[in-house]
Chains A and B, each alone.
Chain A
Amino acid sequence: MNVISNEPETINGVRENAVVPSVIAARRRRRIIVNSLRVLILVVIIGGWQLLTSVGVIDPFFWGQPSGIWAQLVTWVTQGTAQGPLWEQIATTLEETILGFIIGAVLGVTFGIILGRNRFLADVLGPYIKAANSIPRVTLAPLFAIGFGLGIQSKVALAVVLVFFIVFFNAFQGVREVDRSLLANARILGANPSKLTTQVIIPSALTWIIASMHTSFSFALVGAVVGEFIGSIQGIGLMIQTAGATFNVNGVFAAMAILAVVALVTEALVTALERRLLRWRPSTVNDATI
C-alpha cells in the first residue's frame, strides 16, 4: 500500500529534478535569442537607412538620416531649440497632456457614473452625446486656438475633449455592467445608495475605467501635440511644426523620437497605477499584453 502510494511521488520528484534545470536553460536561451533578434532588427533598419541615404539611393533631404537625427538631438539637448531649452518644450507638452488627461478623466468618470446610475437622464441626453461623439474632435483645435489663445489652455481643452468621451463611455458601460447579484448582495448587507455607489459600483466599473486610461492618455498626448501644431509658443508639437516648415526632416524625426520616449514613460506610469488599483484581479491579463 505504502509502496504503491509512494511510487508516483518519487517518479514525479525524479522527473521534476531532472526537468527543471533544462527548462530554465531553455527559457534563458529563448530570452537571449529574442533580445538579440530585437537588437538585430533595430540595427538593420537604422543601419540600412543610414547606408541607403549615404550612398544616395534615398535622398536624406526628404527622408532624413539617422546620423543627422542624432546630431539634431544632441544640438537640442546642448544648445536648446529655436523656441527655448528642450526640457521646457517637453515640460510644456507634458503639462498640457497631464492636465488634459486628469480633467478629461475626472469629467468622464463623473458623467459616466451619473448617467450610468440615472437611466432617465441617460435617455434624455443619449442622442446629444452620440452626436457629439460622432464629430471628429480634432476639428475643434482651430476653435480652441481662437477661443483660448496660443497658451496652454487651448491644448488642454483639446486634450480634455479627446479624453472625456473615451473615459465617459467606458465609465458609463462599466456602471451598466455591474453584476446584479453583487448589487443585491450589497443591498441585503445593508448598503445605502451612496455606499452602493462608492463601495460597489465604482470599484466594479474601475476595471473598465482603468482599461480606457491607456488609450485616453495617448489621446491626451495627441490633443496636446495637434493643439501645438495649430498655434502655440512652446511644446514638442511646435518643434515638429517648425522643423517641417523649414524642411528640417531630421528635426521632425528627432521630435518624434522624443515624443515616443515621453509616451512610453507615461504609459509605464499608467500601467503602474493600473496594477496598484486592480491588484484584486488575477494577473493573467497583464501577462497577455506585450
Chain B
Amino acid sequence: MMKELTAMTQTQDTQNRTTTAIELHDVTKRFLTPAGKVYTAIHAINLSVASGEFLAIVGPTGCGKSTTLGLISGLEKTSEGVVQIMGEPVQGIDPRIGYVFQSDAVFPWKNVLNNVATGPLFRGQSKSEARKKAREWIARVGLAGFEDRYPYQLSGGMRKRVALAQTFINEPQILLMDEPFSALDVQTRTLMEDELLTLWSSLKASVVFVTHDLEEAISLADRVCVLTAGPATVKGIYTIDLPRPRKVEDIRFDARFVELYQRIWEDLREEVLISYERNKQRA
C-alpha cells in the first residue's frame, strides 16, 4: 500500500515536471545502402507525445515507421536532429522504455516463466523476486498455467501475450509498439487490442504505436499521425476524440469513428498510392 502510494506520487511528480514524454526535433535518419548510396528513411520529423498519451503512427509500408521507433528507443542513432525523452536527449537504451516488436521476439529457448522474468533478471533483481513478479504478469495477460511451455508450444496470440507480459513487467513509462498484432488473425487481434487498452490504462505509460492498419490506429489512439511515403515526414496529426474506456470491437461502428476514418484515409490514401506505384516500378 505504502509502496503504491509513493509510486503514484512519483509518477505525478514526473508528470508535473515534464508534460511531454517524447519529443522529436527535426529528426532525420539516413542509411547507407549495400550499393553505397545514401537512403533517407525519415526526413525532418517533428513530433511530441504527451505523458500518458497514446499516439498511433500510420503510413504506407516501408515508409520509416519502424525507424522512428528505433530512434526513440535508442537502438539507432539519429543522423540529424534530437530525440528527447522526459526532457533529456536519448543516449543509448533508456531503462524506462519498453518495446514490443513486430516479429516474435520472445526467446525460443526459454519457457514462458523465464521469458517474462528476463527483464527483471537483466536488471539485477533476484531470481525468486523476478519469478514472483513474472507469475503475476503471466496471470494478468491470461496465461496462468502455461508457465512451463516453450514458445513453439504456444499459438501466435499466446506468444504475443508473453511478449506483452515481458515488456510490461519492467513497468515502462514509454511503450513503443511496432505493428505488434499484424501477424494475428482478426478475432485474436481485436482481443489483444482490448487487452492492451486495459493494461495501458493501469500502467499510464506514453505509447507510440506503429501500424499500417488505420482502423486499429483510430480505435486505440488519442492522436493519429500520418507519415508520408519515404522519406517519411509528418503529413498530418489527428486528434481522436472518441470517449474512453473503449471497446475495440464496438467502437468501429460509431458514427464519429467512421467520420474520422474517412478524413484520415483521404490523407493516407495518397501516400499509400505513391508507395504502391514506386514498388511497382521497382518490381
How far, in angstroms, from A200 to B109 measured CA to CA in the complex? 9
Within residues 55 to 114 of chain B, which ones have a CB less than 8 A from any CB in chain A?
A: 73, 75, 93, 95, 97-99, 101-111
- Chain A residue numbers with a CB within 8 Å of B219 are none
Q: Does the CB pair B152–A184 fall under 8 Å?
A: no
Whether B166 sits at the interface, judged by CB under 8 Å, is yes
Tell which of A179, A189, A206, A279 touches B118, judged by Cβ atoms closer than 8 Å.
Answer: A189
Per the 8 Å Cβ criterion, residues 110-124 of B in contact with A are 110-111, 118-119, 122-123
Closest to A190 in B: B122
Chain A residue with the shortest CB-CB distance to B70: A184
List the A side residues contacting B103 at CB < 8 Å.
Answer: 179, 181
A243 within 8 A of B: no
- Name the A residues within 8 Å of B200 (CB-CB): none
Which residues of chain B are within 8 angstroms of A188 by Cβ–Cβ distance? 73, 75, 93, 97-99
Chain A 177-199 per-residue mask, 1 if CB under 8 angstroms from chain B, else 0: 00101101111111110010001
A206→B102 CA distance, assembly (Å): 24
Chain B proximity of A95: nearest CB distance (Å): 32
In Å, the complex CA distance between A127 and B105 comes to 35
Number of A-B contacts (CB under 8 A): 65
Q: For B48, what are the chain A residues with a Cβ–Cβ distance below 8 Å?
A: none
Shortest beta-carbon distance from B156 to chain A in Å: 15
Contacting residues of chain A (144-202) with chain B, CB-CB under 8 angstroms: 179, 181-182, 184-192, 195, 199-200
Known: A181-B101, A187-B93. A280 touches B75 (CB 8 A): no
| B150 at interface, CB cutoff 8 A | yes
Return chain A residues, CB-CB under 8 Å to B122.
186, 189-192, 195, 199
Give the CA-CA distance A191 to B102 in the complex, in Å.
Answer: 20
- Distance, CA A199 to CA B108, complexed state (A): 11
0/1 interface trace, chain A 199-227, chain B, CB 8 Å (1 if under): 11001101000000000000000000000
**Closest Cβ of chain B: how far from A2's Cβ, in Å?**
24
When the two chains form their complex, are residues B170 and A190 in contact, meaning their CB atoms are under 8 A apart? Answer: yes
Check B166–A189 contact: CB distance below 8 A.
yes
Residue of A186, A195, A281 touching B108 (CB-CB under 8 A)? A281
User: Across the interface, which residues of B come within 8 angstroms of A186, CB to CB?
Assistant: 107, 118, 122
**A195 to chain B: which residues have CB within 8 Å?**
122
Residues of B within 8 A of A181 (CB): 101-105
Within the complex, which residue of B93, B98, B109, B118 is in contact with A280, where a contact is CB–CB below 8 Å? B109
Whether A8 is near chain B, meaning CB under 8 Å from some CB there, is: no
Task: Say whether B75 contacts A184, CB under 8 Å.
Answer: yes
If A184-B75, A280-B150, A282-B152 touch, does A190 touch B123 (CB 8 Å cutoff)? yes
Q: CB < 8 Å: which of B75, B98, B123, B167 contacts A187?
A: B75
User: What's the nearest-Cβ distance from chain A to residue B124, in Å?
Assistant: 8
What is the minimal beta-carbon distance from B108 to any residue of chain A, in angstroms? 6
Q: Which residue of A lies closest to B102 (CB)?
A: A181
Rounded to whole Å, the gap between the CB of B176 and the closest CB of chain A is: 8
Contact B93 A185 (CB under 8 A): no
Nearest chain A CB to B282's CB is how many angstroms away? 23
A186 to B119, CA, bound (A): 8
Cα separation A39 to B111 with both chains bound (whole Å): 43
By a beta-carbon cutoff of 8 Å, the part of chain A in contact with chain B is 179, 181-182, 184-192, 195, 199-200, 203-204, 206, 279-282
**Nearest 7 Cβ contacts at the A-B interface:** A190-B122, A185-B105, A189-B119, A280-B109, A190-B123, A188-B99, A181-B105
With A181-B105, A188-B99 given, name 6 new contacts (CB 8 A). Answer: A182-B107, A186-B107, A190-B95, A192-B122, A280-B150, A281-B152
